[in-house]
Amino acid sequence: MTNATRFLGTATVLVAAATFAKGASGPDGERWWSHVAVLADDKLEGRNTGGEGHRKAALYVAGQFQKLGLEPAGTAGYLQPVMFKSKQIDEARSSLVLVSKNGEEPLTLGDDAIIGSRIDPAPALEADLVFAGYGLANSEAGHDDFQGLDVRGKLVVCLMGAPASIAGSLAAHMQSGGERGDLLRKLGAAGIVMIPNPKNMDIPWARSSLARFMPSMGLVDPMMDDTRGLLLGVTVNPARAEKLFAGSGHAFLEILQAAQAGKPLPRFALGKRLKATVAVKRAQLESQNVVAILPGSDPELKGEYVVMSAHLDHLGIGEPIKGDAIYNGAMDNASGVAALLDVAAILKESGARPRRSILFLAVTGEEKGLLGSRFFADAPTVDRKAIVADVNVDMFLPLYPLKRLTIYGLGESDLGDQVAAVATELGVAPDPDPEPKRNIFIRSDQYSFIRRGIPSIALKVGFASGSPEAAVQKRWLTERYHAPSDDLKQPVDKPAAGAFDVLVAKLLERVANGAERPHWKDSSFFKRFAE
């Protein structure tokens, strides 16, 4: 109770939260941390999708679900096996060469550019390069980077990001893999060459380029592959991008300045071709989602499900940084799965009997492109129409006390209003996404549910812009995000995590008890996906 008092602050709130206090170690965060400590241990080897460490982690989660007395809701007990194909670029047998009238200029793989394997690359390709602004088109946004441009059989070069004039959620959706894939296929493009905007890079190039040594994965079912039909995907180091523009009459710097000033980006042929030779190592493997249900109490509504999801996978073992090759993913996202287990325990202990059922879902393949959640949303183990909401927790960063809550998707559905109400009740200030440009709302597993029309939300411990907390999270992203140092040795705020779990438990209970299922707002872009 003392820790609860510290978090909740006011007496009235204590009464409201009383059902969660009984015997729960929740608010001090120790139980949460005990799960993180297991899942982010070196023994689990970074929980790579398809790896033995992930399998052990899945079995741990299943075991915890069982201990809590939740019902198994996978296709094999608590597990839902998912089949993946893995692809890894064999750099020693691959090359990229810029071809212009002045001759050939080889690009150094890793330093100048990297060949992506998410788009299944053709063994050999030579195609014209065309710069097409942000590479986006959407009539609703009144934006078309391809107007008057013929990109059939060509490689579309673009700056990552979207014009500031387009609303956050629409811009985020336009940049999603599914939308990009559909657009490029429709235009007949051979592939895409992306240049990150240094201003929006979460991870410095030197570190992000190391990820190319890890295999990418896709779902075996081709209809679940957003990039089908494309032949090449390349990412260019922005610090080396002028090579592409030399001789075109334009400079990359000019593009960046135009983007910074919110001016339209030019569209032009680069007057060069890119010649790619790509060797790929392929394999098939299985990895598991883990699914459990806390059954509802209402005879009718128990057939509806409020989902809480969190991804279990991380990056596995990769290139060593400072002598450490295990990418433990303690915050990304052992923390979220630990929250899922803690929330389930809090609800169990509270004796609450919500009317709708609550479905706890730990998914695989998030780091490979939201694949485990995509598989679940496309082939759910319960009737999809009966899934009323998804509350996703990914890297919620309890690095400082929970005074604010960042709600991704706050304005999109009445689920947002419900989170805001629960947060306010607990003395926590609800905030919209402070950095809409980073596309968080479509960058984690909630997007798999959004695409299926299901109102969704993602939550993190919030911060006020310009505050010391903002600096802490910024530094965390630069130094630890997708690095081996996201491990058990980092400082975390356990009571913040415990308080966060109480908040999520209250939210799930509230949604599960709601008279109506959540719905998208009429103004929401995402409403169109609702069946």
Please state the closest distance from residue 336 (CB atom) to Zn ion, in A.
10
- Which is nearer to Zn ion, 332 or 509 (by Cβ)? 332
- Number of H helices and number of E strands within the chain? 15, 22
Please state the closest distance from residue 432 (CB atom) to Zn ion, in A.
22
Distance (Å) of CA 66 to CA 71, 159, 179 = 7, 48, 39
Please state the closest distance from residue 524 (CB atom) to Zn ion, in A.
26
Please state the closest distance from residue 117 (CB atom) to Zn ion, in A.
17
Please state the closest distance from residue 120 (CB atom) to Zn ion, in A.
22
Distance (Å) of CA 452 to CA 228, 365, 388, 389 = 20, 18, 11, 11
- Closest residue to Zn ion, based on beta-carbon distance: 332
Q: CA-to-CA distance for 203 and 404, rounded, in angstroms?
A: 25
Q: Which backbone phi and psi does 160 adopt, to 5 degrees?
A: -70, 145
Letter for the amino acid at 33?
A: W
- Which is nearer to Zn ion, 195 or 395 (by Cβ)? 395
Binding interface with Zn ion (CB under 5 A): 332
Q: CA-to-CA distance for 218 and 210, rounded, in angstroms?
A: 20
- The separation between CA 396 and the C-alpha centre of its own chain, rounded to angstroms, equals 12
- Which is nearer to Zn ion, 315 or 450 (by Cβ)? 315
Q: CA-to-CA distance for 87 and 117, rounded, in angstroms?
A: 6
Distance (Å) of CA 417 to CA 59, 216, 368, 476 = 35, 37, 31, 29
Burial of 249 (0-12, 13-18, 19+ CB in 10 A): exposed
- The separation between CA 424 and the C-alpha centre of its own chain, rounded to angstroms, equals 26
Ranges assigned E (strand) in 94-168: 95-100, 103-107, 113-115, 124-132, 137-138, 143-144, 155-159
- Which is nearer to Zn ion, 202 or 221 (by Cβ)? 202
Q: CA-to-CA distance for 17 and 349, rounded, in angstroms?
A: 13
Please state the closest distance from residue 315 (CB atom) to Zn ion, in A.
7
Please state the closest distance from residue 332 (CB atom) to Zn ion, in A.
4
Please state the closest distance from residue 159 (CB atom) to Zn ion, in A.
23
Q: CA-to-CA distance for 482 and 49, rounded, in angstroms?
A: 15
- Which is nearer to Zn ion, 134 or 441 (by Cβ)? 441
- Which is nearer to Zn ion, 304 or 332 (by Cβ)? 332
Please state the closest distance from residue 482 (CB atom) to Zn ion, in A.
6
- Which is nearer to Zn ion, 230 or 334 (by Cβ)? 334
Please state the closest distance from residue 481 (CB atom) to Zn ion, in A.
7
- Which is nearer to Zn ion, 205 or 520 (by Cβ)? 205
- Which is nearer to Zn ion, 138 or 473 (by Cβ)? 473
Instruction: Give the 3-state secondary structure of residue 30.
Output: helix
- Which is nearer to Zn ion, 122 or 317 (by Cβ)? 317
What are the structure tokens assigned to 232, written together?
């090449």
| CB-based contacts of 324, cutoff 8 Å, min separation 6 | 484, 485, 487
